[in-house]
Amino acid sequence: MYLPTKDLPESIRAALRSVGYGGADIDVTVGETFTAPGSYGAGHRGRVFVVDLATGRSEYAQGSYGGDNPFSSSPVDSNEKSPLPPGFAALTSGHSKIWHLHINPANAAAWLPTAPDVSPRERWLLWAYTGLTSAGRKDEFERKGPGGGPSQDEISSLVARGLLKQNKAGAVQITTEGKNVRGGKFQEPPFVAGGSSSRTVTADDIIRGSRR
């Protein structure tokens, strides 16, 4: 689940600003515990903010560059679970540009939007606009054969519901709302062809793997 950073409480936005995070949205996990990710590798360090949502007060801790090592010790590098009581949020990072927000289930209802219903076909299209590069989308749409790529009507419908956005040049991007209904970024949902779903499968389809 993702939330637009502009909709977050000021205390959390302030914490993100202090570390130079400028993303339009942030990945959100709901749970009663959280785990600091540690370092993603050389040149990076694990970092954690814990924010009291009632007072806005936050506490910050960081690990060592490259992660745990024999010369220094930090709870941020331990990869151990920490409790996350109601009324608190945590921000975690193991990479200078990647942050995750953790919130308690008791606070989730007030934070998380209700995802609109989408068809299996629309879910696959939303995945294509985040799981693939523009070149990868072009190749995948062609590989799927007739009904693989989106029609302008399909794009316009997703744009009207706030799940995609399209500029005057025709370039299409997924929105935060679209990310929240597409499913996992790296897990492709079942493909459904556009137009008639009962078209005849050809030998070329089978050779090219355009239907699964």
Distance CA 23, CA 164 (A): 17
Per-residue pLDDT at 185 exceeds 70: no
How is residue 118 annotated by DSSP? -
Least confident range of 85-94, 139-148, 180-189, 190-199: 190-199
Q: How many separate helices (H) and strands (E) can be counted in the chain?
A: 7, 10
Distance CA 35, CA 37 (A): 6
**pTM of the predicted structure, to 2 decimals:** 0.66
Using a 10 angstrom Cβ sphere, with 0-12 exposed, 13-18 middle and 19 or more buried, the burial of residue 90 is: buried
In order of start, what are the domains of the chain with their CATH numbers? Answer: 2-111 (no CATH), 120-208 (1.10.10)
pLDDT, tens digit (0-9, with 9 covering 90-100), for 113-127? 777 788 889 988 998
At residue 198 the predicted structure's pLDDT band, cuts being 50, 70 and 90, is very low
pLDDT, tens digit (0-9, with 9 covering 90-100), for 46-99? 888 899 999 999 998 887 765 565 555 666 667 778 899 999 999 998 776 789
pLDDT, averaged across the chain: 81
Per-residue pLDDT at 197 exceeds 80: no
Distance CA 140, CA 131 (A): 11
